[in-house]
Structure 1
């Protein structure tokens, strides 16, 4: 090993379809992605954690326009490998319309579109709604003690 090289912390593997993605990407994106993957393998950079259905995977924002993503996971390397863990690249694709995340879901065998934690929370029922008894109605603010009452019209004044 020469003086300028450092020992890598992880092995590197590609889903065959991710390798095709990389080869079909524009040359500038391919170069940037490979440089960033080298940093990941050397443990000098780490991607951003994905959430929701893709928890356990990470993403790299490849370009300055933030249009391309690399999605990868860390996993135990095959027996007999030099490293104990490896970076496994699942997809290298454009982010447009969440294409990359949909494709990762398909490649991982998900039958539905993967949801982020934020999307799941937005679609779920609020826990506060479930805690109220059925038929419970909050009192009108005007009937609560200490609250101002609406003015009555002169036609509805009680006679003395």
Structure 2
């Protein structure tokens, strides 16, 4: 992918992905990185409030709808992430240095898995694109890939360093 380096933070519902991203953003910013965040959901959510002008534009068939205020701009594109998100991220290299995508298990980005006992099997056991696991468990379950990097949930500084290095590697590959 061209544009800023990006990584998906994946895991089962309720394992702490949002909390981790919330903690990583200021840590990465403290390292001098401009951080972009994308929330990916497999659930349907209305992008525009019912009856709003932007909902009317969307209903009318607009391919792109932007809502601009003095506080910022929100864009929505009526395409699946595979088709719209990656090209959109490519355009934001002048705005951000790294992008954290919460979710998007099946997307093409390298992944960090947040895993907790009792919330489902370790996804990294079945996926070669998971680079590291963040977990509060004393050990990963049987079947975890050999040599898989592991971080405790409190190791935000170490994880930020890992992401910074990953971002630099991705930037050099582009």
TM over 0.5: no
TM tier, shorter chain?
under 0.3
Q: TM-score, normalised by structure 1?
A: 0.25
Q: Between Structure 1 and Structure 2, which shows a larger proportion of strand residues?
A: 2
* Bigger Rg, which one: 1
Taking CA–CA contacts closer than 8 Å with sequence separation of 6 or more, which of the two structures ends up with the larger relative contact order?
A: 2
Q: TM-score, normalised by structure 2?
A: 0.24
Q: Between Structure 1 and Structure 2, which shows a larger proportion of helix residues?
A: 1
